[in-house]
Amino acid sequence: MIPSLGTSVRLSLSALRREAWLSALGLLAAGARRASSLPALAAGGALLLRAGLAAALARGDPRGALDGAVAMATSPRFLGIVGGLWLAGAVAAGALRAAWVAGALPVLATSMAGAPRGSAGLVDGLPGGFLRVLPAAVLGLALEASGLLFGASLLGGTLLLGPRALSGGAGGAAALAAAGALALTLAVAVPVALFTAAEALVVRAALTQEPLASALAEVTRRMVARPGAFLLGALLFGAAAVAASVAVQGAGGLATGFAAGAPAAALVGPQMMIGAAAALGAAVVDLAWLGTLAALCCARDPGASGSLPA
């Protein structure tokens, strides 16, 4: 029997409280994923700066720097170098995410099952789990892309057919309103469902050793059995992530507002602390959501967490 959303959240938060050290590790993993885009930004900035300076010196006019930078930004060389570095960074970020999920989820699952293993669970689960999570993440990416394409197609079709339906008079307007409401609902619900299914597939792949097709079938069965738990959980944790970021940024803004007249260098430290606090809050919410999905995807009894796979 699939646990309810409330039971899953309770199990996840209890496990996260016992394994609080995962939050700090999650912060480091998130920082590493963000840093993966720095080589592309650094190379792009250096190439634009070099081209701008060269153009300004060649023309003897500082205004030529803009033309030189624009010419570099539209050149195949620039697009190839920066695009290649960005793609490599995106692949590295995805691999880091897969490794993080493969290591962190066994720790949460064993804690929910009442047999916490601490860092040993991360070390033992990472090697084999990464090889299972990586193809699941690729399939999940395809599901997410199809969800975005589906939603964009519905919205585009509604906008294109709208003028024709309105030209049909009151009946056409009523039909357009009904079709538009249905299209908007599906354009939001289907992508959210596919995003949730993609994350659930990755979670189950990290915790079980079944084939990818079996994991996808089981995730589908569980989502069909409890669609509200999965979709409401995704929306609630998404809202929690936004609320945590806004709260930290707002509190930081109030705290630094008293030093509005201070030199910019003096505000670097507080701003970095605020950013770190916001990233830590996002890491905690992400771990809580992963633990909730673990319970929804793998637990068999709403009253006993011991059914979670180790």
The predicted pLDDT at position 250 comes to 74
**Distance between CA atoms of residues 155 and 151, nearest Å:** 6
Token pair, residue 197, equals 């299914």
Phi-psi region of 265 (alpha: psi -120 to 50; beta: other; left: phi over 0): alpha
The string of pLDDT tens digits covering residues 117-175 is 777 878 887 888 888 999 999 999 999 999 889 888 888 877 776 666 555 555 556 66
Q: Nearest Cα to 137, choosing from 234, 86, 205, 73?
A: 205
Length of the chain in terms of residues written: 310
Question: Do 279 and 32 meet the contact criterion of CB atoms below 8 Å apart?
Answer: no
Burial (CB count within 10 angstroms: exposed 0-12, middle 13-18, buried 19+), residue 147: buried
Region 62-85: mean pLDDT is 86
The 3 state secondary structure assigned to 45-93 is HHHHHHHHHHHHHHHCCCCHHHHHHHHHHCCHHHHHHHHHHHHHHHHHH
Number of domains the chain is built from: 1
The string of pLDDT tens digits covering residues 168-211 is 555 556 666 677 778 788 888 889 999 999 999 999 999 888 89
At residue 186, the 3 state secondary structure works out as: helix
Instruction: Judge whether residue 106 has pLDDT over 70.
Output: yes
Q: Which residue has the higher pLDDT, 248 or 260?
A: 248
The mean-pLDDT minimum among 23-32, 131-140, 168-177, 233-242 falls in: 168-177
Burial (CB count within 10 angstroms: exposed 0-12, middle 13-18, buried 19+), residue 246: exposed
Q: What is the DSSP letter of 14?
A: H
Q: Nearest Cα to 278, choosing from 237, 259, 250?
A: 250
**Distance between CA atoms of residues 228 and 5, nearest Å:** 8
**Residue-range definition of the domain harbouring residue 153:** 5-307
Q: Could you give the percent of the chain with pLDDT greater than 70?
A: 84
Q: How confident is the model at residue 253 (pLDDT cuts 50, 70, 90)?
A: low
Other beta carbons within 10 angstroms of residue 271's beta carbon come to 12
**Distance between CA atoms of residues 239 and 244, nearest Å:** 9
Q: Could you give the percent of the chain with pLDDT greater than 90?
A: 31
